[in-house]
Structure 1
Amino acid sequence: MTITSTEKDIATLAARFVNNTHRHVFLTGKAGTGKTTFLRYITSHTHKQAVIAAPTGVAAINAGGVTLHSLFQLPFGAYVPDTKLPAGLNQNINTRESLIRGLQIRGNKRRLLQELELLIIDEVSMLRADLLDAINTVLQVVRRQGNVPFGGVQVLFIGDLLQLPPVVKDQEWQVLQRYYNSPYFFDAQCLQGPHKPLYIELDKVYRQSDDKFIRLLNNLRHNQLLPQDAELLNRHYQPGFRPAPDDPYILLTTHNHKADTVNREALQKLPGKSYFFEADIDKDYPEHMFPLEATMELKAGAQVMFIKNDPTGEKRFYNGRIGKVAEINDNGFQVEFPDDMVKVKVEKYEWQNIRYRFNETTNEVEEEVLGTFRQYPVRLAWAITVHKSQGLTFRKAVLDLGGAFAPGQVYVALSRLVSLNGLVLSSPVPAVLPNQDQAITGFAGSAGQEPLEDVLATESQTYLKNSLQGCFDFGPCAGHLRLHLANYTKDEQRSTRQKHLLWAQELEAAFRKEKEVADKFGQQLAGLVAQQPLNLDQLETRIRAATDYFRPRLKELSRSVLTQAGKVAEEKKTKQYQAELRELESHLFRVQQQLEKAAALLTSFREGKEFTKQALPPTEERQQLLAENNLPPKSRSRAQRATEPKAPGEKKEKGQTQEESYKLYREGKSIEEIAALRGLAHTTIEGHLARYVQSGAIPVEQFLDPVKLEQILTVARTIDTDQLSPIKQLLGDEFSYTDIRFAVAFAKGLKSK
């Protein structure tokens, strides 16, 4: 993926700030300006060790990352950046002291955070200030750099503050307001003063092309409803509007229960049989992260919306395209569109629950897939909430905005449309818009006025100087070698390791000699980078000469360690020793990587280009050295896997039918036993059995006691929904998703009788 632009293009400048400087960046922009495209570009091009995280599970899945809580192992609840709670408070609120005391970050997770260079936080509008301060504390402690924000990690914040706000309970804010001016991330204490992120706003709108509509949206985005704007919008007010059956309008409303009711009633009115499609859930995929319902009910003629782009690249559908189910049976369905004669056979899409790990062989941050969720990437689309419509694009929509209750919702709803031509209002726009939070207005208004190009020139030069000096700092690796040598403490009779003490001493002495040379060169380098203006020719000559000097010597040290690891692998009781040698060699390899990076960084600076991973030299020699010592090859990145061609018709083997789960259940097997026997997630088995609860073949009392059942049904009727998550939010932790799933299935069965 590329961002094609001129030097003055905002997206290009933003990418250079991320890759060529160490500044924290807040990238924002109106809906449709390309924030998601920018995120994907950075993740596939940055030369930095980077991870993606988001405040919620669904946001993390959509961004292709992890939740902030899981990445930093944060406790739930509010956090105050103080050692103790203010007197008189006994709430369950975390402090700096309790957070540090409870940290359990060890092993690979600790190494991951220590090697991290770039933290990307998506949907940052939902990120609370106290959570960001907690993240800052964790990184400072784990990286042992308490004097700099985030322990020296650069942070890229992405999002639109005028969309989803952070959620803070009233009782929490009673405490937090003593420390924060607002709950928004930019008021975190770690971002104050000189650490404030650079504010960059994408301004090119790709979704709309009508200048009049774009100006109207700009006004709404800043919570301004001019009389002429209201008059223009209310021309589209059509009370009682009912679209023709073949006209793909979607209703945007402000409340979940209304959207659920519209979709459910529209589906029930369709003639014909209902078909149920179960998600294939493999291994660890928590229910609160499900991108769709695990059981999807569809009929022929159902209006559906795709929630993903066509993964084949043929652009048959896109995120937000609406069509109707044309042909359907137990094995799947096709969707047709009013403006296209071609029917699309829908295939299941795979969402992944991942975690990040640090590969100590390749010295790279990698993704490990913990579990997958495979389901057809569509949902019923007669109606959708404004909240869930974010990121989608519609050609035709009916907007019910009379109940818009949060600042920005009117803007979000209207900005989903390509143009005003497809707009219908079921109620007039509010005469007065909800007040916009003044904290947002103040933060946006305080953005620096200095041209971005000038800031970039200064910051990139600072980054170049610091990075070049850091690349020739052999101190950290020397420290690891000293620690390794200190572990040879037992006599030869008690430890196999002790037989290799002489080898370890020679290795440490050899590297110490190279460090002495590097220290002297570092002093020369400090003088060179202090010159104004920089003498780039002289710098490049010295950097390349130093790299040519150290490269063969460091490679020989790496080879010595890997050869040693191969030797001891043949001896008994050396597993721990082998692991230590592998880790030690990874630190030596890191020094080699730094040297190569220094030369590439200097070249990109000279040429005035963005420094990306593509500018780094290939590592074929490294791969050969690993292979010679029977070490695993470099893993493929997500970007590499995504570009690999798939075999035609490649598809995972379809799971067995619900009847097999039912048969095993009737034989007396529990849900857990059935899941283990069939190699499926227990939630998948629950979905199978819920079908039989709905049909009455299995009494619901086998899963739920009558009191719990009635409580769940009461809540479901009150909020008028059969969606599990809204019901769970109201009921709390006393009720599991399993309880709610079977109760909802029972209720559906009653309605169908």
Structure 2
Amino acid sequence: MGFITTAIAAYRYFSTNSIGKSTKFAQNRFRSKTKTKNSEPRKPRTRIKWTDQQKQIISAISEGNSVFITGSAGTGKTLLVNHIIKLLKKCHHRSGVFVTAPTGVAACAIGGQTLHSFAGIGPGVGDRHTLLDRVLSDKKAYNRWKKVEALVVDEISMVGAELFENLEYIAREIRGEDEVWGGIQLVVSGDFFQLPPILCKWNASGKEFAFEADCWNASFDFQYELTEVFRQSDSRFIKLLQGIRRGECEAQDIEFLEQSCLVTESESDPSVVQLYPLNKDVETVNQMRMEELAKEGTIYLAVDSGNNPWKNQLNQGIAPDEIFLCEGARVMLIKNLSTWRGLVNGATGTIIGFREPENMDVTDMCYDNLLPIVRFDSGLTMVITPAKWVVMEGDKVVAERKQIPLILSWALSIHKCQGMTLDKLQTNLSSAFGYGMVYVALSRVRSLEGLKLQGFRPSKIKAHPKVLQFYKVFVSERDTEVKNDGANKISDRSSEVAHVTDTRSNGATKYHFSLSEFLSSRQKRK
């Protein structure tokens, strides 16, 4: 969180021993209100109503199958993966289930560890034999590979083919099993149309994405695509996003997008979250907005525990090691606090004051022993108490961070917002680079009404040719299967899902993925 640290450093001269008259006023004024809000009766937790798609995936995993789950943004992958993690811990020994992701932000979001730290391969430099020797010389890493029964890998789009192949080789060698991945149940999730892997200079294979790995198809019994979108409800907006996802948009869609969302610099709303491709732009905007407020406030220091290398992973997560907050600061929740009240990851609001906690001491993270009061854009006012982020190794907590679950939200990087849902956002895409970046940014928002664009050019819409080809195979294989087997009816509706069957047992890969009408019709035109 480089921009957070820099912004805070500029404000160290502010007093943390006094909060100022206006803040004291806010403490008294909102003490009774916040107490009432926090004491609202808790509504009973509603059971999740899984779709047929999701039920099919849950059933396959509960039977011990290895599964790849893909789907566009907003199709419920994160919710489903979190449920699957709980399911796996019931099906296996809790200590035998390891949850991973390629980056610290993604790993902390699902309560896991980075893929590299689980594997014990350090930065992952070297050929497979070098990496295997590194694991064999690390007793803890060796033991992890021996006892793992199920391995979850989230955000697979950021994992390269070479890394995927090397880890599969390490699994077989250490476990002494000829079976793919040494018999580990593998659950992998992600969308290859989103953020791609960062390739190393020493990647000599020419293969980029995990699906290019020689062992990819053999690694899974089933491969599923979630296609029902929950984040957006407007069918035209969904169609537009699906086109952008695949790197193409029809002229009328581009015109519609520009007419609906394009704004000038003078029309910018400082209360709306601004997404930027570059961290330096995020840092500049947040620091400038804080300087404009020029108010006294307080600093919250994260309290970390655990051992390295897991403790170091906490600094890669979204919870900052320190954050300066003052009245008027725009903030965003970075953890689900109460889903039924709308206090979810991505909810935005404004700091309106501070107050002393009741039945709690936070002097270990805030010298003044004060908690921030946030008026959320939904209208709810709430005192925000510390939250915890953990790094898990199987069923063991190996590192933990306690921090106020807020970050400054005038600006945010596109990479940091992956997985979030926003009611409103403004984004300047003039410096967008790479494949999938425009899609990740635009797909965060619930509706066109909440989207404002600057610096938008259709040429920025890009999808990687290899990813397009990967998903085209599903269409081709699906059409062939339907043609050759009249009894096997597969719907072309976007709400359907089907799967790859018996990829391990017979070596024949049969794809039954449903994709959008957009891509299907484009394939036929060619």
TM-score with structure 1 setting the length? 0.53
Matching residue of 2:430: 402
Matching residue of 1:176: 205
Instruction: Name the SS of the counterpart of 2:182 in structure 1.
Output: helix
Matching residue of 1:229: 253
Letter in 1 for 2:320: E
Matching residue of 2:372: 333
Preserved contact between residue 223 and residue 499 of structure 2 (Cα < 8 Å): no
C-alpha distance after superposition, 1:709-753 (max 9, x if no partner): xxxxxxxxxxxxxxxxxxxxxxxxxxxxxxxxxxxxxxxxxxxxx
What does residue range 191-230 of structure 1 map to in structure 2 within 5 Å? 191=216, 194-195=218-219, 198-230=222-254
Displacement of 1:411 in angstroms is 1.1
Q: Distance in 2 between matches of 1:435 and 1:314?
A: 36
Letter in 2 for 1:322: T
Displacement of 1:349 in angstroms is 0.8
Q: Distance in 1 between matches of 2:353 and 2:280?
A: 29
Preserved contact between residue 186 and residue 219 of structure 2 (Cα < 8 Å): no
Q: Distance in 1 between matches of 2:258 and 2:467?
A: 28
C-alpha distance after superposition, 1:144-181 (max 9, x if no partner): 11x22111222111011111111113x323x232xxxx
The match for 1:258 among 281, 284, 296 is: 281
Preserved contact between residue 161 and residue 212 of structure 2 (Cα < 8 Å): yes
Matching residue of 1:423: 451
Preserved contact between residue 406 and residue 434 of structure 1 (Cα < 8 Å): no
Preserved contact between residue 225 and residue 433 of structure 1 (Cα < 8 Å): no
Preserved contact between residue 17 and residue 456 of structure 1 (Cα < 8 Å): no
Q: Distance in 2 between matches of 1:338 and 1:454?
A: 36
Q: Distance in 1 between matches of 2:197 and 2:344?
A: 29
Distance 1:141 1:323, change over 3 A: same
Distance 1:350 1:339, change over 3 A: closer
Displacement of 1:327 in angstroms is 0.8
Matching residue of 1:150: 181
Preserved contact between residue 275 and residue 414 of structure 2 (Cα < 8 Å): yes
Displacement of 1:399 in angstroms is 1.6
Residue 283 in 1 paired to residue 297 in 2? no
Q: Distance in 2 between matches of 1:456 and 1:231?
A: 36
The match for 1:344 among 375, 382, 403 is: 382
Q: Distance in 2 between matches of 1:257 and 1:275?
A: 24
Percent of aligned pairs with the same residue? 29
Distance 1:126 1:335, change over 3 A: same
Paired residues, number: 422
Letter in 2 for 1:299: C
Preserved contact between residue 120 and residue 134 of structure 2 (Cα < 8 Å): no
Displacement of 1:60 in angstroms is 1.4
The match for 2:471 among 410, 421, 444 is: 444
What does residue range 54-65 of structure 1 map to in structure 2 within 5 Å? 54-65=101-112
Distance 1:20 1:304, change over 3 A: same
Displacement of 1:77 in angstroms is 3.7
Distance 1:250 1:130, change over 3 A: same
Q: Between Structure 1 and Structure 2, which shows a larger proportion of helix residues?
A: 1
Q: Distance in 2 between matches of 1:258 and 1:461?
A: 47
TM-score with structure 2 setting the length? 0.74
Instruction: Name the SS of the counterpart of 1:172 in structure 2.
Output: coil
Instruction: Name the SS of the counterpart of 1:190 in structure 2.
Output: coil
Distance 1:456 1:434, change over 3 A: closer
Q: Distance in 1 between matches of 2:471 and 2:353?
A: 50
Pick which of 251-260 and 433-442 moved more: 433-442
Matching residue of 1:68: 115
Letter in 2 for 1:191: W
Structure number with greater CO (CA < 8 Å, separation at least 6) is 2
C-alpha distance after superposition, 1:437-471 (max 9, x if no partner): 221112112234256899879759989xxxxxxxx
Q: Distance in 2 between matches of 1:270 and 1:328?
A: 16
Letter in 2 for 1:117: E
Preserved contact between residue 28 and residue 158 of structure 1 (Cα < 8 Å): yes
Residue 239 in 1 paired to residue 239 in 2? no
The match for 1:388 among 398, 411, 416 is: 416
Q: Distance in 2 between matches of 1:222 and 1:313?
A: 32
Instruction: Name the SS of the counterpart of 2:434 in structure 1.
Output: coil
Distance 1:116 1:420, change over 3 A: same
Matching residue of 1:188: 213
The structure having more radius of gyration, on CA atoms, is: 1
C-alpha distance after superposition, 1:588-631 (max 9, x if no partner): xxxxxxxxxxxxxxxxxxxxxxxxxxxxxxxxxxxxxxxxxxxx
Residue 167 in 1 paired to residue 198 in 2? yes
